[in-house]
């Protein structure tokens, strides 16, 4: 009976050592990226450092979006074209809104204070221009 107790004790000690070694291996390798994979920053940059890249900013950003989509397994056909033109479109919408508000102020429909408030709301993203904009509502379907 005493021999079995010693045998069980050794089995528990060996099992505990194996668990400790397994946890150590897991803890030391859990942050390693798998072979052949890329990090998100590498996917966005296309695996090329920013200093090595040349060309226009727009085409560079388009390449980065396509590279990221490819890395995430998104079919390139489903990536919207001109997705990065939103900022320039927003600036154009801002100018159009400013012109429309100036006309409204000149016609006496708004005060300059109200027009300034609308521009601040547009800059904060609270309102959008009705010119060439896509507006989505987030209310649930009934």
DSSP tally for the chain: helices H, then strands E: 5, 0
Task: List, for residues 104-128, the tens digit of each pLDDT value.
Answer: 999 999 899 999 998 898 888 888 7
Cβ-proximal residues to 105 (8 Å cutoff; 6+ apart), any chain: 111, 112, 115
Q: What is the pTM of this model?
A: 0.35
Shared domain check, 92 and 70? no
Domain that holds residue 5: 1-29
Q: Is residue 100 part of a domain?
A: yes
How many domains are contained in the chain?
3
Q: How many CA atoms lie within 13 A of 98 on its CB side?
A: 8
Shared domain check, 101 and 138? yes
Q: Is residue 118 part of a domain?
A: yes
User: Measured between alpha carbons, how far is 92 from 52 in angstroms, rounded to an integer?
Assistant: 32
């Amino acid at each position: 009976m005493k021999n079995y107790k010693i045998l069980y004790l050794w089995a528990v000690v060996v099992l505990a050592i194996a668990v400790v070694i397994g946890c150590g291996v897991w803890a030391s390798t859990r942050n390693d990226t798998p072979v052949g994979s890329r990090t998100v920053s590498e996917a966005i940059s296309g695996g090329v450092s920013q200093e090595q890249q040349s060309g226009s900013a727009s085409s560079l950003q388009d390449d980065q979006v396509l590279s990221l989509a490819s890395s995430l397994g998104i079919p390139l056909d489903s990536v919207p074209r001109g997705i990065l033109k939103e900022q320039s479109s927003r600036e154009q919408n801002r100018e159009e809104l400013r012109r429309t508000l100036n006309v409204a102020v000149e016609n006496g429909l708004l005060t300059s204070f109200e027009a300034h408030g609308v521009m601040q709301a547009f800059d904060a993203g609270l309102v959008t221009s009705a010119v060439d904009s896509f507006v989505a509502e987030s209310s649930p379907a009934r």
